[in-house]
Amino acid sequence: MNNQSISKILIILFALFVCSGAVLGQRTMTIVEAIDSSLSVNPQLLLTRAQVDAFSASVSQATASLLPQIYANAGYTRYEEPNISTPIHQLGVFPPLDDEIYEANLQLSIPIFDGGRRLAKRKIATAGVEESRATNDLMRNNILRQVAELFLLARQTADQSQLIYKRLISLYQQLEDLRVLEQGGRVSKGDIALVASLIASTKSDSSAIARSKNRLATRLGFLVGAKQAVLPALPENDLAGDDLLREYPRNGLIQAEFSAPTVRISEARLGKAKAFRSLAARNFWPEISGYGMYLYRSGSDWDPVGEWAIGVKVSLPIFTGGSRIGKIKETAALTRASKMAVRSAELEQESNLRLSYNDYLSALDQSDQLSIAVKKKAVSVEVQNELFNAGRIPLRDLHTQETELLRLQIENNAKLYSARLALLRYEALTGTLSKSKALMLIGGIE
């Protein structure tokens, strides 16, 4: 093997190392593993799940207040035996506690009427459950979107890295050929300097891509709960545009079947505000409860006597200093504010959905035009290469065309990924981003 062949092999290996940006021994993770891990260990998602459990328990607690309550009580008392005619202690001396009372009772309390306050409290708890569930769905969609975006960006940088890798190989090959020709006096040092300059510029681009890969790995490690950077393990299948057109047509916006999590959160808060207003209004009503009790009582001689007691208790608030009226005004204002918040969330959702879908359509249209431009430019570069080999154009003209072709290829690649990123945002906004949709949008294989 001659020195020129060895040099070419070393050049190829160096270019491959520069463009890969990978670190030996670094942990990798597939999209399915990343989604499963992030959904199981993300602290923000675990927090919202705990809030769902807490509010569900509060609904059970509010429901239990509608049922009868049973209590068991027991007591023991030592007291001074009454002796009026003959005092049994001196002045300033604590009297002897020489008598005892034992008592025990079983009490049943039945809510009869409270003006609907217990039902209003249950509605408040139910609205809290709905809000926490919507928050959980919002957090889950955001985590899915972030993981899928990371893998899409990783695929984009990998594609760009391949384009730059091919460009570097071509430039290094040209540099070797020019050095051979220089020995025969057929090219100038200016041509060699031009190619060397292009190599340095392209290597700078590859270094930026390598740093981008490291940033993506760091972000993925955070999302999956790892204490180190995690490289995305990318699928080997190609991204196709036909699947997007089947699922997301060009002829208009797809209307979501359900309200987005942000709208559901606002709707749940409105329901809670209405329940608080209802509770404040019902505080003017009396509260009626019934009770029944069986009481055992015995003295120190231990001769227990049992007796029944039943009754009805009525509690009617008469004057509270205006606090109830103030509470009604406060909850009425909160209800009006919550209605406006729902309307604002609906308008914002509609606007964001249209913007995301328009971004998708715009990126797709630009990609179509750029694909045509890439094909035409490739033909032009091929012709320019033939002219250069024939000595009819200078080397700088050929490299200008090749650099323009690389720019168009990278830009076309970026638009294809921009379309998928826009769809990820769209699905996350509607609250319908699932694991299967995330896999479809990044071109992953489960």
Distance of alpha carbon 50 from the chain centroid: 15
Q: Do 424 and 441 contact (CB within 8 A), yes or no? A: yes
CA distance 308 to 295: 6
Angle between helices 31-41 and 43-64 (to 10 degrees): 50
Predicted pLDDT of residue 298: 85
Q: Please report the DSSP string for 373-425 in residue order.
A: HHHHHHHHHHHHHHHHHTTSS-HHHHHHHHHHHHHHHHHHHHHHHHHHHHHHH
Strand partners, 147: none
Residue-wise burial string across 382-396, b where 16 or more C-beta atoms lie within 10 A, e elsewhere: eebeeebeeeebebe
CA distance 264 to 305: 60
Long-range contacts of 168-174, Cβ-Cβ distance < 8 Å, separation of 24 or more: 168/15, 168/18, 168/19, 168/199, 168/202, 168/203, 168/206, 169/11, 169/12, 169/15, 170/402, 171/195, 171/198, 171/199, 171/202, 172/8, 172/11, 172/12, 172/15, 172/199, 173/8, 173/11
The SS3 assignment for 427 reads helix
CATH, residue 230: 1.20.1600.10
Q: Do 86 and 139 contact (CB within 8 A), yes or no? A: no
Residue 392, domain extent: 3-442
Predicted pLDDT of residue 402: 87
Q: Do 417 and 367 contact (CB within 8 A), yes or no? A: no
The SS3 assignment for 263 reads helix
CA distance 100 to 89: 18
Strand partners, 73: 105
Strand partners, 79: 99
List C-alpha distances in Å: 360 to 62, 249, 412: 47, 10, 14
DSSP letter at 249 equals -
Q: Do 213 and 233 contact (CB within 8 A), yes or no? A: no
Q: What is the pLDDT of residues 60-100, one digit of tens each?
A: 999 998 899 999 999 988 876 665 544 555 555 556 666 78
Domain count, the chain: 1
The token duo for 370 is 């750029």
**Beta strand pairing call for 28-29 and 231-232:** parallel
Q: Do 312 and 289 contact (CB within 8 A), yes or no? A: yes
Q: What is the pLDDT of residues 51-69, one digit of tens each?
A: 999 999 999 999 998 899 9
pLDDT profile of the chain (446 residues), mean per 10:
52 51 67 90 90 93 90 85 55 65 91 91 94 94 93 89 85 82 75 85 84 90 87 76 66 65 94 94 91 87 85 89 91 96 93 91 91 93 88 82 88 90 90 87 68
Handedness of CA 245, 411, 141, 33 (dihedral sign): positive
CA distance 354 to 254: 9
Of 404, 432, 425, 315, nearest in space to 359 by CA: 425
